[in-house]
């Protein structure tokens, strides 16, 4: 049987574009890709990239204040969203164009259209035309989830925040995960009065407990009104924005309410179940370690599979798929010890296990220190950084590294190399400190604060 293409990719985000490019440019496959919205996907258009640019914008509030304390004569007149927003739009346009160029240069045929599956080798585009392919890759990502309650249609999500014409004076952020904590800090820094509701006892569930407490304190001290065990029961629109009834019965007024209550895979309406592709409980496409679905010609990578929902992981999965299927080089994406960062202010960088995870499987030693870094201490700031190493007491291997500090996202990338190589605590100890830095603490902690 002959097909129109060797590979048809649905979704032009990080995972799909990488797979398409490698299959076409490096392995000579005839490839098509369909994207219904903007090329670049969540990361580029409404996620990591615009978020990080907002983190940069937001950080200046603190830098300017610190600069004044250090002796600079700086006047601050507040943040001008109307200046930042067009620049952000221009940058996203530039990146989207770069993604398109990449695909064009790799000879990938692009369809600016939604595509759904007709059968194991056929996709149908929005104009009704059909294309056949030997292999189909689903890389359709995910979208924000807002739970149902009276007034839930008034909620905005991280998709909307970058598109606001103006920033609200006050905002309620609901959720305690990555997006909620990051935007609480970003908007607080930009001068928005931020209240954050989290339904449980402590934000950042699933991360190291000591780190969760540390970040929660920092967020509160910075001026975010963080309410734990709090949730929204009802919302109504009024002339000032939204009136929110909390689950404790309190009624509060906010300019807007942003829900960061998780993301769900984009699998609805793709025709997957009709052709036998197995879908899990959270709506995710079920795949094996080769990213192959229950239909052998169909593969899936990235957030739509709900494995580790991070851009670099989706890229690895897309690349491994292309090498495996078109490059004759069977490759599994490695999901072990994936480092990451939560871009709170300061940032949290992590690799490996939390203390709680590690002690379930190992006898551990915990090395941890929290201290006021030189830069802030000089001007009387009492914000502390946190460095934490979890070490296997039997093998001396470093099982986890956790850093809460300015630049922790950058620092953890380097620490992650050592951890991935199997570094022991002795390896850390025999590395000479770089002085004076905050990161020198990574190699100078000598006595465990506890064992378990």
Applying CB under 6 A, which of residues 58, 293, 309, 345 lies at the interface with ligand NDP? 309
**Partners of residue 400 on adjacent β-strands:** 352, 390
Q: Which token pair is 161?
A: 């925040």
Where does this chain touch ligand NDP (CB under 6 A) — which range of 15-23, 256-264, 374-382, 433-441? 256-264
Question: What's the closest the beta carbon of residue 351 comes to ligand NDP, in angstroms?
Answer: 13
Q: Residues for the chain: how many in total? A: 452
| Catalytic hit among 104, 135, 319, 435 | 435
The residue (of 60 and 149) whose beta carbon lies closer to ligand NDP is: 149
Question: What's the closest the beta carbon of residue 313 comes to ligand NDP, in angstroms?
Answer: 9
The residue (of 309 and 324) whose beta carbon lies closer to ligand NDP is: 309
Nearest one of 15, 8, 20, 13 to 103, comparing CA atoms:
20
In the residue annotation, 143 being an active-site residue is answered as no
Question: What does the alpha-carbon distance between residue 16 and residue 84 come to, in Å, rounded to a whole number?
Answer: 30
Nearest one of 291, 282, 286, 285 to 270, comparing CA atoms:
285
Exposed, middle or buried: residue 187 (CB in 10 Å: 0-12, 13-18, 19+)? buried
Decide if 286 contacts 265 (C-beta within 8 A).
no
Cα distances from 443 to residues 383, 417, 428, in angstroms, run 22, 15, 5
Q: Does 262 bind ligand NDP (CB under 6 A)?
A: yes
Question: What does the alpha-carbon distance between residue 292 and residue 324 come to, in Å, rounded to a whole number?
Answer: 11
Q: Does 231 bind ligand NDP (CB under 6 A)?
A: yes
Q: Does 161 bind ligand NDP (CB under 6 A)?
A: no
Question: What does the alpha-carbon distance between residue 196 and residue 219 come to, in Å, rounded to a whole number?
Answer: 10
Q: Does 178 bind ligand NDP (CB under 6 A)?
A: yes
Question: What does the alpha-carbon distance between residue 178 and residue 262 come to, in Å, rounded to a whole number?
Answer: 9
Q: Does 150 bind ligand NDP (CB under 6 A)?
A: no
Where does this chain touch ligand NDP (CB under 6 A) — which range of 92-100, 130-138, 172-180, 277-285? 172-180
Applying CB under 6 A, which of residues 140, 195, 196, 261 lies at the interface with ligand NDP? 261
Q: Does 260 bind ligand NDP (CB under 6 A)?
A: yes
Where does this chain touch ligand NDP (CB under 6 A) — which range of 77-85, 267-275, 318-326, 340-348? 340-348
The residue (of 100 and 212) whose beta carbon lies closer to ligand NDP is: 212
Nearest one of 345, 404, 343, 439 to 65, comparing CA atoms:
345
Q: Does 139 bind ligand NDP (CB under 6 A)?
A: no
Reported as half-sphere exposure (CB side, CA atoms, 13 A), residue 441 has a value of 22
Q: Does 313 bind ligand NDP (CB under 6 A)?
A: no
Q: Segment 14-73, which members bind ligand NDP (CB under 6 A)?
A: none
Question: What's the closest the beta carbon of residue 282 comes to ligand NDP, in angstroms?
Answer: 11
- Work out the number of other CB atoms within 10 angstroms of the CB of residue 366: 21
Q: Does 398 bind ligand NDP (CB under 6 A)?
A: no
* Residues contacting ligand NDP: total by CB under 6 A: 23
Applying CB under 6 A, which of residues 87, 101, 205, 363 lies at the interface with ligand NDP? 205
Cα distances from 297 to residues 22, 293, 300, 305, in angstroms, run 18, 8, 10, 16
Name the residues that contact ligand NDP, by CB under 6 A.
147, 175-180, 182, 198-200, 205, 231, 260-263, 309-310, 340-343
Give catalytic residues, as residue numbers. Answer: 435
């Amino acid at each position: 049987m002959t097909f129109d293409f060797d590979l048809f990719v649905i979704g032009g985000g990080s995972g799909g574009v990488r797979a398409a490019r490698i299959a076409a440019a490096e392995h000579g496959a005839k490839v098509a890709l369909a994207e219904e919205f903007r090329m670049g996907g969540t990361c580029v258009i409404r996620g990591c990239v615009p978020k990080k640019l907002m983190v940069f914008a937001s950080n200046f509030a603190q830098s300017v204040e610190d600069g004044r304390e250090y002796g600079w004569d700086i006047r601050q007149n507040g943040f001008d969203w109307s200046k930042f927003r067009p620049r952000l739009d221009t940058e996203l346009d530039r990146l989207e164009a770069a993604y398109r160029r990449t695909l064009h240069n790799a000879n990938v045929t692009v369809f600016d259209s939604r595509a759904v599956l007709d059968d194991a080798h056929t996709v149908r585009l929005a104009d009704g035309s059909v294309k056949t392919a030997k292999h189909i890759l689903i890389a359709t990502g995910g979208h924000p989830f807002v739970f149902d309650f009276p007034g839930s249609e008034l909620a905005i999500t991280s998709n909307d925040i970058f598109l606001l014409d103006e920033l609200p004076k006050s905002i309620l952020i609901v959720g305690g995960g990555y997006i909620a904590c990051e935007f609480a800090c970003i908007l607080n820094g930009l001068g928005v009065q931020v209240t954050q509701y989290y339904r449980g006892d402590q934000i950042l569930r699933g991360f190291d407990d000591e780190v969760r407490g540390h970040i929660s304190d920092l967020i509160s001290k910075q001026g975010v009104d963080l309410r734990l065990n709090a949730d929204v029961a009802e919302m109504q629109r009024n002339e000032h924005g939204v009136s929110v009834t909390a689950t404790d019965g309190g009624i509060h007024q906010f300019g807007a309410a942003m829900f960061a209550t998780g993301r769900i895979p984009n699998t609805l309406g793709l025709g997957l179940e009709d052709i036998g592709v197995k879908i899990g409980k959270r709506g995710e496409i079920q795949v094996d370690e080769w990213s192959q679905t229950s239909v052998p010609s169909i593969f899936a990578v990235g957030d739509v599979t709900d494995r580790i929902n991070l851009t670099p992981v989706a890229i690895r999965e897309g690349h491994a798929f292309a090498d495996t299927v078109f490059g004759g080089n069977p490759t599994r994406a490695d999901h072990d010890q994936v480092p990451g960062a939560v871009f709170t202010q300061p940032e949290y960088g992590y690799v490996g296990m939390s203390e709680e995870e590690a002690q379930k499987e190992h006898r551990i030693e915990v090395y941890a220190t929290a201290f006021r870094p030189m830069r802030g201490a000089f001007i009387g700031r009492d914000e502390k950084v946190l460095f934490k190493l979890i070490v296997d007491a039997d093998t001396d291997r470093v099982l986890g590294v956790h850093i809460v500090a300015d630049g922790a996202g950058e620092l953890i990338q380097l620490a992650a190399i050592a951890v991935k190589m199997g570094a022991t605590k002795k390896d850390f100890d025999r590395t000479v400190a770089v002085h004076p830095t905050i990161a020198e603490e990574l190699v100078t902690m000598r006595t465990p604060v506890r064992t378990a």
